[in-house]
Structure 1
């Protein structure tokens, strides 16, 4: 590997990577995912091995985009031996929590852990895990996203409040506010300073929770609901440090919000609020806001509002807009504070909508481009860079033309009703426009499709388009979500476009799921080589068994986890990681000391008849070769093609027996076997393996083969389609 190093006295200087100082190499490692560092450098030489294993620098572990087999090796060789170095741990694969070797099952030993992220976790695992976090003295950041219903969220709050060093907490807990339970009396208060609630929470729950967090400085509440029970407020409490508040008030009245301001939000400096389709007109009553702010929010310096509602008075022919109460937000009260607003009239899918919002986005992270029925009510034609926006949603491709906003830091792109190749005046995005967008948004990691008709597209010709190929080679998209219908042709197109895909979600009405699964799990599909997990949303009750039968009957995978949570199915697939002279086979249906049994394909024993694990490994390896043979035969039988016939010279079974051409059986076990017969068994097994590899090579295109990979005339010949 060569690098370019610049000095003040030299224009350029080329050196070997190994010549760099340890300090500089550590800085480079810090920019990379640690398990990628291990894969690339751990076995390079003794120096890099020591740099990785003997360092005292902190390790950040991200298991969100890792295959099953890679995780096993990474966990055994890196994570567990370096528990004292791990400062950050991120998980998001729901299949991973079932693994008893997962670090979370011994989390109390990670004494330097500062950041923990548990996404897509089931309630049963969360209930087991939370009590163990109390023993982590350095844990300052916790993020939790549940994947199923949490029956008693108050119990979760109670456990989190007890964490001794927690400063940042983000929660997204599925559940019902109808199971409201008051927090128990605690002998200490929480140390949390930044709280994010991404699930529905009732006013009762909110008051109970905030009363236990006196150090709170910033709070974000996704969706506040009215409590269904009569509320008995706790004894008066103060939040003297709470300066930043962000709330979704779509389901509560202005009067309820006003009471909350008086009780707990009266020292706030920065207020962000969102109201969607709420009929309470007080939210856009300037006089009511003036009274509230002057009386109870004297420290407020940033007032950011977004109010979306249906509007029956809007038409598409630029008629006069009636009944506009937002014109009153122009008095000296607002102008002196430099709080300015705009009113937009847009068409979103099949509805007309009025949006009243602050002109300055105040570092808003989410933004929507949609069809403007009428021009905005303020004049501001200058181009604006919205640096804070990370998630951009595009409802209409016409809004991209001459758009006055730039979004340089977007990482998630949502395309509403996209991919319809209709007229330019259509609300839908054309495929060409999507490719153009991706060409100029290189940092996109997640792509979400609300829907994708994609009618009239020539799949083959568009993949030959130069821009398509450029985007395919340069985009960094790893997560693709199809929320609604998806066909095999459409999926193939987007898998070719997003060739680095690691996580795929398919909507509930996706057609021909069996064909799609076959396509995704094909071992010769280069575009899915990085695919680690698949999520199938709202599947039929019987599809789990159908999918398992499909995978096993056609040997699409040999090492995988298939899990159903609610109506969703999760598939965690594998990658084969060769370990050279230290390869081994892991028995997935046998455990020892809470770990899968490992059978080494190597031995250091002088007397092989004493090495029982090695014998078992050879039996398992022969079984793998036999499964490979059965998979090829099954596939060719399905194709029903004579010119793709496949046959290995020696018959095998799953019990370690292989027979010669005369039908005489030989065992691959050394124990209770003669050395001559054992040698013959291994010879026959390796010959079968060589024939299989030769046949696989013969199926590849000419430009993918080499001269030494094609069977010679003296080798056993295998029929091929060529």
Structure 2
């Protein structure tokens, strides 16, 4: 779409223009391109002189305009301001204006135009350049044209590039004096990855490097440090699968490495314990998205190569020895003395045979003094049907003050240690086989879960019963809401599962976040006969007086241990205390009840008559 000068000028908007300091300052609030036709620029300017207003964009200082243009693509700048007037023509062709050019996702004609009319004549002004395999042919600009004339090029992004184009280009990039950042999205033969690393490591001033590959293969031809010189890279992203010995070979070529991010690490193909490694003293941050290497191998990597690490984010799978808290404590206290942020997550696939994952002894014991002083957030959660997989995740986030949760008891907190708490994030709405819950119970046997927090709405009663049955150490139950469906409760109550769950559990505290019928409450009270504390969020469907009448009149004999009820009420229900007192005076109750209100909560203290 072609715009006239007048139209292009009207498409540049700026507001809140005033003076508050003698030196003009600008803040860019929003920049966007709409239909590739125009740009919106909203600026705020300030000085002490509030009597003056800027009414023309040309009156802004060049420094401020350069700062604004720094947020824009160079092609868009030329499109909006080229031949607009003499002032802007001088500005956009000035050597002081540095350009960021992105030729990806461009039409063939536009890509060709910007390559020949913007990139080529302005090579000495380009600081950032992005190409893709498609734009390479559409533009007619060959990679071989990226040469020493790009004297200010600092960042280069190569997307969907083939090896026959990439390797010759990497050889020519050595001549660029300011190429600090290189990102490669590679989509060709995996056998060339070693050559790509070696060529990239030869770039003299490179500090930020990312190589991403879509291949699902887990190994690459082993990189050896003796074939090339060490790299100046400080920030490295390994965006592909690799074995641990491959990763070690890569980072061994980067002695100045400060931050390492790796997409996936698999088991080593060689015995890495037999080798001698140099510690990378500058390596302080490590992020591993998926780790399938064994704990023994990763311990060698951490203690021999990355012992100076300060931030460690680690997502592990398969090897359950990662859950050995005592071992982690030993590694951290003896070898990782500088560690101050440790985020660790271990995922167990429930559908796998739990006995195939290794020994289940001495794990998930994060209750020691060492951990309680350091853990900020510990979480064990169950995610059923997570990306078509059923997983249990153990998550540790330290080192900060330990948190407690979750039930309130008047002015005191009934604390539930997060180390013993299982959160159910997602669970299927269908009926699960009993063998599934048996596997969950086996996997969590050593943890001794005492608090079950079901965060998914409308959990089936049958599912709740099975969860309670497989977690015999429960003391606290938190439920968002129950789903009765076409349940015949009298039949469910007669089942073996319900009988075992209700007689074996030790639940004394229940929090029901959302109640839709008294049947839900009846099921919970029958399932948990040892209940001492009950918290319910009442509503218009099941008002608080209905709940109190049901509990204290109809169910009193079967819940003799109940001593405190907390009812969450709407704030507008100001007369509820009087209503409850009237009910208790009229109805025959087995309790002497003390009622107190604290904001939107009503507390009923029960004392047997």
User: Is 2:325 the counterpart of 1:286?
Assistant: yes
SS of match in other structure, 1:152: helix
Residue among 393, 396, 410 paired with 1:358: 396
User: Is 2:289 the counterpart of 1:251?
Assistant: no
Residue among 336, 348, 368 paired with 1:297: 336
With over 3 angstroms needed to count, the CA separation of the structure-2 counterparts of 1:235 and 1:355, relative to structure 1, is closer
1:249-304, CA deviations, whole angstroms, 9 ceiling, x for partnerless residues?
5321111111212221212111110013x1x2111111121122222212211111
Residue among 16, 19, 30 paired with 1:7: 19
With over 3 angstroms needed to count, the CA separation of the structure-2 counterparts of 1:113 and 1:331, relative to structure 1, is same
With over 3 angstroms needed to count, the CA separation of the structure-2 counterparts of 1:285 and 1:212, relative to structure 1, is same
With over 3 angstroms needed to count, the CA separation of the structure-2 counterparts of 1:370 and 1:111, relative to structure 1, is farther
1:525-581, CA deviations, whole angstroms, 9 ceiling, x for partnerless residues?
xxxxxxxxxxxxxxxxxxxxxxxxxxxxxxxxxxxxxxxxxxxxxxxxxxxxxxxxx
1:364-417, CA deviations, whole angstroms, 9 ceiling, x for partnerless residues?
xxxxx952689x9899x9xxxxxxxxxxxxx99999xxxxxxxxxxxxxxxxxx
SS of match in other structure, 2:381: strand
Stretch deviating more after TM superposition (53-62 or 8-17): 8-17
SS of match in other structure, 1:215: coil
Residue among 17, 21, 31 paired with 2:57: 17
The equivalences for 1:77-476 within 5 A come to 77-91=117-131, 93-98=132-137, 101-102=140-141, 104-108=143-147, 109-174=149-214, 176=217, 178-183=219-224, 185-186=226-227, 188-228=229-269, 236-248=277-289, 250-276=291-317, 278=318, 280-311=319-350, 328-349=365-386, 350-359=388-397, 371=426
C-alpha distance in 2 between matches for 1:345 and 1:174: 29
C-alpha distance in 2 between matches for 1:3 and 1:179: 53
The residue aligned with 1:70 is 110
SS of match in other structure, 2:106: coil
Asked if structure 1 preserves the Cα contact closer than 8 Å seen for 2:313 and 2:344, the reply is yes
More strand by share: 2
RMSD of the alignment, in Å?
3.7
CA drift of 1:324 comes to 10
With over 3 angstroms needed to count, the CA separation of the structure-2 counterparts of 1:202 and 1:55, relative to structure 1, is same
The residue aligned with 1:35 is 75
With over 3 angstroms needed to count, the CA separation of the structure-2 counterparts of 1:187 and 1:223, relative to structure 1, is closer
SS of match in other structure, 1:343: strand
Q: Tell me the TM-score normalized by structure 2.
A: 0.55
The residue aligned with 1:60 is 100
SS of match in other structure, 1:97: helix
With over 3 angstroms needed to count, the CA separation of the structure-2 counterparts of 1:188 and 1:210, relative to structure 1, is same
How many matched pairs?
Answer: 372
The residue aligned with 1:554 is none
Asked if structure 2 preserves the Cα contact closer than 8 Å seen for 1:123 and 1:150, the reply is no
Asked if structure 1 preserves the Cα contact closer than 8 Å seen for 2:382 and 2:425, the reply is no
With over 3 angstroms needed to count, the CA separation of the structure-2 counterparts of 1:56 and 1:12, relative to structure 1, is closer
1:68-107, CA deviations, whole angstroms, 9 ceiling, x for partnerless residues?
211222122211111111111122x321233573263211
SS of match in other structure, 2:283: coil
1:296-345, CA deviations, whole angstroms, 9 ceiling, x for partnerless residues?
2122111111111123699xxxxxxxx89765112110122245411111
With over 3 angstroms needed to count, the CA separation of the structure-2 counterparts of 1:270 and 1:378, relative to structure 1, is farther
C-alpha distance in 2 between matches for 1:179 and 1:31: 38
Asked if structure 2 preserves the Cα contact closer than 8 Å seen for 1:123 and 1:149, the reply is yes
SS of match in other structure, 2:346: strand
Stretch deviating more after TM superposition (163-172 or 149-158): 149-158
The residue aligned with 2:497 is none
The equivalences for 1:510-659 within 5 A come to none
The residue aligned with 1:655 is none
Asked if structure 2 preserves the Cα contact closer than 8 Å seen for 1:169 and 1:194, the reply is yes
CA drift of 1:148 comes to 2.3
C-alpha distance in 2 between matches for 1:12 and 1:346: 61
Asked if structure 2 preserves the Cα contact closer than 8 Å seen for 1:303 and 1:339, the reply is no
SS of match in other structure, 2:133: coil
C-alpha distance in 2 between matches for 1:11 and 1:325: 74
CA drift of 1:230 comes to 6.0
1:427-472, CA deviations, whole angstroms, 9 ceiling, x for partnerless residues?
xxxxxxxxxxxxxxxxxxxxxxxxxxxxxxxxxxxxxxxxxxxxxx
Unaligned runs of 5+ in 1: 315-322, 363-368, 382-394, 400-422, 426-722
The residue aligned with 1:486 is none
The residue aligned with 2:436 is none
With over 3 angstroms needed to count, the CA separation of the structure-2 counterparts of 1:324 and 1:359, relative to structure 1, is farther
The residue aligned with 1:451 is none
With over 3 angstroms needed to count, the CA separation of the structure-2 counterparts of 1:103 and 1:47, relative to structure 1, is farther
Asked if structure 2 preserves the Cα contact closer than 8 Å seen for 1:34 and 1:60, the reply is yes
Q: Tell me the TM-score normalized by structure 1.
A: 0.47
C-alpha distance in 1 between matches for 2:374 and 2:235: 27
Asked if structure 1 preserves the Cα contact closer than 8 Å seen for 2:256 and 2:280, the reply is yes
C-alpha distance in 1 between matches for 2:293 and 2:228: 32
C-alpha distance in 2 between matches for 1:34 and 1:78: 8
CA drift of 1:181 comes to 3.4
SS of match in other structure, 1:240: coil
Asked if structure 1 preserves the Cα contact closer than 8 Å seen for 2:259 and 2:286, the reply is yes
SS of match in other structure, 1:125: helix
SS of match in other structure, 2:170: helix
1:457-516, CA deviations, whole angstroms, 9 ceiling, x for partnerless residues?
xxxxxxxxxxxxxxxxxxxxxxxxxxxxxxxxxxxxxxxxxxxxxxxxxxxxxxxxxxxx
The residue aligned with 1:454 is none
C-alpha distance in 2 between matches for 1:156 and 1:144: 10
CA drift of 1:162 comes to 0.9
C-alpha distance in 2 between matches for 1:50 and 1:80: 19
With over 3 angstroms needed to count, the CA separation of the structure-2 counterparts of 1:31 and 1:398, relative to structure 1, is farther
With over 3 angstroms needed to count, the CA separation of the structure-2 counterparts of 1:37 and 1:263, relative to structure 1, is same
C-alpha distance in 2 between matches for 1:141 and 1:156: 15
